[in-house]
Structure 1
Amino acid sequence: MATPDDDYDSPWKSAVLRYFPEFMAFYFPQAHAAIDWSRPYAFLDQELAQLVRDGELGRRRLDKLVRLATVAGAEQWVLLHLEVQGRRESAFAERIFCYNYRVYDRYRRPVASLVLLADQAARWRPGSFSYRLFGCRVGIDFPVVKLMDYADRIEQLLCDANPFALLTAAHLLTRQTKGQAHRRRAAKWRLTKLLYQRQWDRQRIIDLYSVIDWLMRLPPDMEARLWRGIVQMERREAMPYITYAERIGRKIGLQEGLQEGRQEGRQEGLQEGLQLGQRQMVELLARQLNKRFGTLPPQLGERLVVADSEQLGRWAMALLDAASLDEVFGDK
């Protein structure tokens, strides 16, 4: 049985924003040790967007730019350019060189470029770019970490307290179970149980599960089976962390659908949602139901997951005038 298409870049970027110090400690410990974490750091998203436009770099996009301080204290602040790359790209090293220079040219501060590679090409390890002309050498060398290098250490990763060890294991198990839905469901269930056993705070569990859920996609019937297990586990452990709306509300396309709904009005927003793929339809409809009627009961969440697009469309139209969940789902 085939599994849905996999997505690797977006979940990592979300996790990096939320748990940046842990990210650096796990993948780039030398850089982590040189950063003064007692001082605030800032992601320069707006400045980054302007920098890319000014550089006329087209569709190429720098992942993250962070302003931070070092323990050496020689500079008031420096810049860290971080790239998370999920697929092989022939001109990747040259792109890193261009971004690094553009950042330096804009801020006139030291810039370090760090790269995390999430692809499957074992021999592809771009770590430098340079050229020589008339005795002049220009170039860059940058640290690279490759996720597939952890493939023989999955059990060790599962015992590591750093959240990115668990996410690295999730990434590797997603790769290893591509096209094998039953194996993936078993691996995802194991990771979910481990997540609950870590005794982390509720928000961290929700955030990290959302990444695991995003990475390890399953066919609808297996998603429903897994969700039943999570509900039972939460009841048994008295840990009601991941509600159905929170779970699916963090998937691909939700923010786009919600933004369209807010701008165009409830009915037009629903119609736009219906034009998205079936997966996005489920996400949008679940959030709308949750907003109107409160947290969805697990059994209704399961019905959304396994429904076809025609049924989802009927429920979406019923939501426009319904006064209760019973009226939406036709139970009365």
Structure 2
Amino acid sequence: MAEHDSSYKLLFSHRELVADLIRGFVNEDWTQSLDFDTLERVREIGVSHDLREREDDILWRLRLIKDGREHWLYVYLLLEFQSSVDPYMAVRLLTYVGLLYEDLRKADAIRAGEPLPAVLPIVLYNGRDSWTAKTSLSDLIDPDLPPQLRAWQPQIRYLLLEERRYAEADLAGLQNVAAALFRLENSRAPADIQRVVASLLDWLAAPEQTELRRAFVVWLKRVLLPSRVPGVVIPNVIELEELHSMLAETVKTWVEEWKELGWKQGIEQGIERGIEQGIERGIERGIEQGIEQGIHRGETKILRRLLMRRFGTLPAWVGERLEQAEESEIECWTDRVLDCDSLERIFGESH
């Protein structure tokens, strides 16, 4: 968990990624008034000791220009990678924002009589389970209170960005570094990762983007690739271009390894099935048929696993097609796995 958080925090220590996160995923009109040239990381000023101890929180600020006047906007970014959803996230944010205001006051960043600056709390969540927690504190407070008493209760809301909610088709159309990160998080196979890394190479080609490219390499090596391709040997590379080349070879190797595994499982199942049939029909003919059936079953099994790695839980119609498929169909569909972006295209029809 600590390795995951620190690698992710390294990414969001780069202003371009934070800027793209706001531009691409805070879909409100007032963002058009933001001056992204003023975007800066807040390290000491306005950050209490308690907040500095929190490794999953990142604080940025930038100017909001309204009616010719400039206002500071603080973007409080909380990276949430828990295995379970925190139902009291709004309470946590209330505490953190309160501490931020207190520290701004102590640091003389707010003069006496001046209004408090705006804070945009963002919770970035990449867990497998859907986020079910309330995003408004008022929804957590006893709903049966008298209306006048409810008026005295504290209020705060946070913007939830749940990565799994964004469809690949929508993200792929954005030239946005944050969208690329979401696509990588949602990827299921090396081929998917390779495509996104290729896009990042184009978008982050400028010399001043070297550190962000390397931050992606660190995160890919330490977090994403070990979870998506378990057991893969990751060379000691520091450049995104080197990692992209490695992935190109990994895609080929990965497919061949799975095919080889499928053949082995098929032969084992075939021998077992052949022995059973041999009792009734003769060992020689039974083993021959059993091996053929076993190989077919092994190929079908590996195709099913490839599809699940690529697309997640498979609909019922896919299972029916696999059970009824001929050997030639299995081979055809396997060849399409890495090239087609939907189950319908792989199987050559719509459902």
* CA deviations over 1:123-165 (Å, ceiling 9, x no partner): 4243111347771221212221211101xx2244234211111
Aligned positions of 1:165-204 closer than 5 A: 165-173=179-187, 177=188, 183=189, 185-198=190-203, 200-201=205-206, 203=210, 204=212
Q: Is the 8 A contact 2:125 2:163 kept in 1?
A: yes
Percentage of matched positions with identical amino acids = 15
Residue segments in structure 2 that go unaligned for 5+ positions in a row: 105-115, 247-351
Higher Rg:
2
* CA 1:139–1:157: 2 relative to 1, 3 Å: same
* CA deviations over 1:278-298 (Å, ceiling 9, x no partner): xxxxxxxxxxxxxxxxxxxxx
Number of the residue aligned with 2:94: 97
CA distance in 2, matches of 1:231, 1:82: 31
Number of the residue aligned with 2:62: 68
Aligned positions of 1:77-226 closer than 5 A: 77-87=72-82, 88-107=85-104, 108-130=116-138, 131=141, 135=149, 136-150=152-166, 153-173=167-187, 177=188, 183=189, 185-198=190-203, 200-201=205-206, 203=210, 204-218=212-226, 219=230, 221-224=232-235
Q: Is the 8 A contact 2:56 2:80 kept in 1?
A: no
* CA 1:97–1:210: 2 relative to 1, 3 Å: same
Runs of 4+ in 1 over 6 A off after TM superposition: 232-235
Q: Is the 8 A contact 1:21 1:32 kept in 2?
A: no
CA distance in 1, matches of 2:73, 2:200: 35
CA distance in 2, matches of 1:231, 1:102: 43
* CA 1:68–1:89: 2 relative to 1, 3 Å: same
- In the superposition, the TM-score normalised over structure 1's length comes to 0.53
Q: Superposition RMSD on alpha carbons, in Å?
A: 3.7
The one-letter amino acid of 1:103's match is L
Give the secondary-structure state (helix, strand or coil) at the position aligned to 1:41: strand
How much does 1:170 deviate? 0.5
Number of the residue aligned with 2:253: none
- In the superposition, the TM-score normalised over structure 2's length comes to 0.51
Q: Is the 8 A contact 1:188 1:216 kept in 2?
A: no
Residue segments in structure 1 that go unaligned for 5+ positions in a row: 178-182, 236-332
* CA 1:118–1:32: 2 relative to 1, 3 Å: farther
Number of the residue aligned with 1:11: 7
Number of the residue aligned with 1:300: none
Aligned residues: 214
